[in-house]
Amino acid sequence: MRAVFINPERCIGCLQCEFACAVEHSVSKSESEAFLEVPVPRKRVHVEAGPTPTFAFPNRCRHCDPAPCLQVCPSGAITRDDALGLVLVEPKRCIGCAMCAVVCPFDVLTFHPLADSPAEGVAVAVKCDGCEDRVRRGESPACAEVCKVDALVFGEINELVAAGRLRESGAVLAAAGATATELPGGDPLAGWHSWGVAREAAGTAADQWATGRTAINAHGSNGQAGNDSPTGNGNKGEGR
């Protein structure tokens, strides 16, 4: 089955997928006219900020099977297209209860007035529909088509997963090849043995330093005592 696969490590946070998604779901389908529509078209993919400033994540509906949102929808507004493997929302049947958003594990549902809402200004559930019309025409979803870094790719899901595993395995092997490691069958306690030798050497050096310091102090004290003695060197000098 064909689907959009996410490579989060490639996302650069350019937001082109969000823009293309909003335009695709506009009435005019025009980049220069979509923002003038009332209500304005809404994006279905959301680029979320990551844990670091250089990391972003394109979050979109996973079209779960079974889908929690479909199971809890009381009005039957959420259905599944088994042929395409898509979970779809029929805006005219949505009552805006937000039960779907409560159970969604990926936080991909938002609520906005749409051109096909049941009444003007009524907010309904908005989520990714997999660009159903484009896919039926043999085209890629808008978000995957505009992504220049392959953070979003469209194809057979099993092939995409296999390619992702090969890419990750290659990265692991490259990292392992650049790092010196012990041969299999080596001493599993080599690290502890090295630590013990270093600790013993440090202790010996500390003892030697302390012994030498004590000898220096003792020698200095003896010399000072001889010079200061009123009956020492002075008397010997008078005897001569």
Query: What pLDDT is stored for residue 194 in this prediction?
Result: 74
Residue 239 has pLDDT above 70, yes or no: no
Domains and CATH numbers, the chain: 1-60+130-167 (3.30.70.20), 62-127 (3.30.70.20)
Given a contact cutoff of 8 angstroms between Cβ atoms, the answer to whether 91 and 124 are in contact is: yes
Of 6, 36, 35, 3, residue with least CA distance to 19? 35
Residue 128 has pLDDT above 90, yes or no: yes
Query: What pLDDT is stored for residue 183 in this prediction?
Result: 54
Q: Which residues pair with 46 in a beta bridge?
A: 59
How many residues appear in the chain? 240
Residue 229 has pLDDT above 60, yes or no: no
Residue 199 has pLDDT above 70, yes or no: yes
At 203, the pLDDT band (50, 70, 90 cuts) reads confident
Mean pLDDT, rounded, of the chain:
83
Distance CA 104, CA 201 (A): 61
**pLDDT tens across 40-86, in order?**
999 999 998 877 777 888 999 999 999 999 999 999 999 999 999 99
Give this prediction's pTM.
Answer: 0.66
Cα Rg, the chain, nearest whole Å: 37
Q: Which residues contact 2 (CB under 8 A, 6 or more apart)?
A: 135, 154, 155, 156, 157
Neighbours of 9 (CB within 10 A): 13
